[in-house]
Amino acid sequence: MRFPRVWAVVGAAIIVAALVFGMALTGKASAAPQSASSRPAISYYHSCPAAVGAASCHALYLSQGKAIPGARKGGTPSAVTNGCPTNPTAGNTYPGYTACDVENAYNLASYSGSNGSGITVAIVDAYNDPNAFSDVNTYRSEFGIPLLTNGTSFKQVNQNGGSSLPRNNGGWAQEISLDLDMVSAVCPNCNILLVEASSNSNSNLFAAEDYATSHANYVSNSWGESESSSETSYDSHFNKPGVVITVSSGDSGYAVEYPAASPYVTAVGGTSLTKCSSTRGWCESVWSTSSTEGAGSGCSAYEAQQSWQNIANITGNVDVSGTTTLEGNCHNRAVADVSATADPYHGVDVYDSYSYQGQSGWLVFGGTSVASPIVASTYALAGNASSVTYGSYPYSHTSSLYDVTSGKTANCGSDLCTAVPGWDGPTGLGTPDGIGGF
């Protein structure tokens, strides 16, 4: 793998769009940030970029540069109301969102305490994190979440289910810690199965996927690569009726990746989540830092469209939503289906003690790697895997989603890259509002 390079990003102004009536196939609108403001420069890097022909994870780690005033707007959570006694990164340069913030932002707190018992969420990643078990329990202890037990409620196996684990890798260890912590935040009662592929090659990751989908009903994947003409031959690894598979849509903005493009998965895009004075208490817009970095989206070049995506916002080429933005004109698989927080500037707390690039301990992460395990765990709270047909369920339950209607990742001229009421590429149908959409 090549050495990760540090990205210096000067954030653009947040686009504030007026909400439009006459929404097509839409849930409740998520308020946009109240005012446009320029972001100070921030530095972060991709935890595990891939060599050509292999997958990359979608974790973005915020390096500890100069302070960003007001980067986190959530405040310190209250132990009385949400059981999370501290914000461990409050003194850091980039303090992140806590487990309670994630639950509260997506109206999951009332379900997280009672649902999920006996359900297993599987995480598929490459290489080994030698501290995975101890680190996830450090995260859980910090936020008052019941600890996992190694070998029962937590299992860590290789791609074939064995105990001989792959070689260690610091970048992928960051991804693993991020995934485990987001499952813990959303579904504290869920068991966790960590399946580690021998490498980030397709063959090894698909072998790990096969094992995960045969041992869990909810599987999260926070990795991907560019589309290729051979990808439809890989779909058998994701065509698993009765198993919910989520895949992050990627961090390259208006571009489609595989396996998010597979018609047999729920493709998860990304938002910028901030605390605000709306009735919900949170605001969301499309996550984008540049025309080549943000929530992955678009129209697949190779994958067929499933029937539930045959809607005006995807197949049309007219201004369905009344925003003067043309709807998709996509007749293949469109990405994404739903979304969750992904903006590294408003990242999440993660604990990872396996030092990489000189960083360890309490860290802050963004990327659509955050969003995929959040959505997989929301599915697990709902417990509907046996009745869910691939990514179709949210399309008939949009009233239980927060519709994101502000922001864009590029100037593509359609909702494949621009938020509009109803479905759009970067955020799909929206973000979780409880478990009813899953």
3-state secondary structure 324-365: CCECCCCCEEEECCEEEECCHHHCEEEEEEEEECCEEEEEEE
Looking at the domain assignment, is residue 46 inside a domain? yes
Q: What domain range is 25 assigned to?
A: 6-432
Question: Is 322 domain-assigned?
Answer: yes
Residue 236 structure tokens: 């058998």
**How far is CA 391 from each of CA 14, 262, 300, 397, rounded to the nearest angstrom?**
29, 10, 15, 12
Instruction: Give the tens place of pLDDT for each residue, 396-412.
Output: 999 999 999 999 999 99
d(CA 105, CA 74): 10
The pLDDT value recorded for residue 91 is: 67
pLDDT beyond 80 at 423: yes
The domain tally of the chain equals: 1
Query: How many CA atoms are closer than 13 Å to the CA of 106, on its beta-carbon side?
Result: 35
> What is the average per-residue pLDDT within 275-295?
92
pLDDT at 23 over 70: no
Question: How is residue 43 written in tokens?
Answer: 């530095």
User: Has residue 29 got a pLDDT over 70?
Assistant: no
CB 125 within 8 A of CB 132: no
Is the pLDDT confidence value at 4 over 80? Answer: no
Beta strands 401-404 and 28-30, pairing class: parallel
Average pLDDT value for the chain? 86
The CATH number of whichever domain residue 254 belongs to comes to 3.40.50.200
Does some domain include residue 233? Answer: yes
Greater confidence, 354 or 25? 354
User: Residue 252 belongs to what H/E stretch?
Assistant: strand 252-254
Mean pLDDT across the stretch 298-313?
95
132 domain-assigned:
yes
Q: Would you place residue 86 in the very low, low, confident or very high pLDDT band (cuts 50, 70, 90)?
A: low
pLDDT tens digits along 353-399:
999 988 899 999 999 999 999 999 999 999 999 999 999 999 999 99
**pLDDT tens per residue, range 142-192:** 999 999 999 999 999 999 999 999 999 999 999 999 999 999 999 999 999
pLDDT in tens, 102-129: 999 999 999 999 999 999 999 999 999 9
Tell me whether residue 437 is in a domain. Answer: no
Q: Other C-beta atoms within 10 Å of 281: how many?
A: 12
**What's the pLDDT score for residue 80?**
30
Q: Is there a domain that residue 321 lies in? A: yes
Is 1 within a domain?
no
Residues 194 and 121: their CA atoms lie apart, in Å, by 9
47 neighbors 125 (Cβ within 8 angstroms)? no
C-alpha to C-alpha distance for 378 and 411, rounded to whole angstroms = 32
Average pLDDT score over residue span 126-145: 96
- Quote helix, strand, coil % in the chain, to nearest 5: 20, 30, 50
Cβ 150 vs Cβ 131: under 8 Å: no
| Helix, coil or strand: residue 270 | strand
Q: Given this model, what pLDDT does residue 370 score?
A: 98
Owner of token pair 């395990």: 373
Residue 83, pLDDT score: 42
Q: Phi, psi (5° rounding) for residue 171?
A: -65, -50
- Regarding predicted confidence, which is higher, 247 or 29? 247
Label residue 45 by pLDDT band (50, 70, 90): confident
What percent of the chain has pLDDT above 90?
Answer: 72
Residue 438 lies in a domain: no
Return the higher-pLDDT residue of 414 and 185. Answer: 185
Which residue has better confidence, 260 or 72? Answer: 260
**Which is nearest to 94 in space by CA: 42, 45, 59, 46?**
42
